[in-house]
Amino acid sequence: MVYFLPAVIVAAALGYSERHLYRLTAELRGAGLLDARGHVAQVGKLRRYSGTLWAVKLRPEAVRPRLRWWDFRHDWRPDFAEDYHGERGAFRAVQDVMSEPLDLKGQIGRLIALAQQWAAVPGMAKTPVEGGSDMRLGAGLRAVAAQLPALIGMHPRQRHRAVSALAAEIAHTLNEPGRFRQHCASIYAALTEENEQRPGLRLLALQLERLAVDLAEVAPWRKPGAVLAARLRPA
């Protein structure tokens, strides 16, 4: 799972100093349990640290978590410039909570609520999972898989447009526009297998869904399209 949350809030919610949190993060990264890096946002002509991105391993059998380049391109804090100029950042939010006359239990509850408020996109009703790249990838690939069966009954001309659209969606989702023709060929090959009474489209759909699951676990592939092609290749 990939999500955004400033480290100062994580440290406060856990009851650690930021320095100790960074030490723990390094240990957990070394153990293959998470990946974490600072996120930089644009404020006018300036580039300023806006928070921290976290990729976390949720299941023992999952692959080593790794942040991808597109995670850093996402606008995790659309209101960051306003917060920056108004000095309403995460540090100030933590200080406001710490200054409230609360007992330890109440303070922890407020800090956890603050973490939930800031996770993913502050000020917007999103969960961390919805904001992560894994969900964007999974949704795109699963949408293509769901539309594959409809190709069978289409008129050839309509089918050609649909195949091109689905191949373009796969290429766009995986951020590999150069593999558009490869995905077209894979879909047409699956259609040929269907004409030969073999479950070509179903197998292609299963491989797309499998790839979506792998990418949701932050599989360490620079070229997921090549992985898909290899999996579709006859044994």
Say whether both 122 and 139 belong to one domain: no
Say whether both 36 and 77 belong to one domain: yes
Say whether both 116 and 147 belong to one domain: no
Tell me what pLDDT residue 125 has.
40
Counted residue by residue, the chain has a size of 235
Say whether both 118 and 168 belong to one domain: no
Considering the entire predicted model, what is its pTM?
0.51
Say whether both 147 and 54 belong to one domain: no
Say whether both 99 and 174 belong to one domain: no
Q: Domain limits at 15? A: 2-126
Say whether both 204 and 221 belong to one domain: yes
Say whether both 31 and 97 belong to one domain: yes
Tell me what pLDDT residue 83 has.
76
Tell me what pLDDT residue 134 has.
44
Query: Which of residues 69, 91, 126 is at a domain's end?
Result: 126
Query: Which of residues 111, 126, 141 is at a domain's end?
Result: 126
Tell me what pLDDT residue 232 has.
92
Say whether both 32 and 81 belong to one domain: yes
Say whether both 200 and 143 belong to one domain: yes
Q: State how many domains the chain has.
A: 2
Say whether both 66 and 155 belong to one domain: no
Query: Which of residues 70, 104, 126 is at a domain's end?
Result: 126
Average confidence (pLDDT) per 10 residues, the chain, 235 residues? 87 90 92 90 83 86 81 77 79 89 88 83 39 51 86 86 88 84 94 90 91 73 87 84
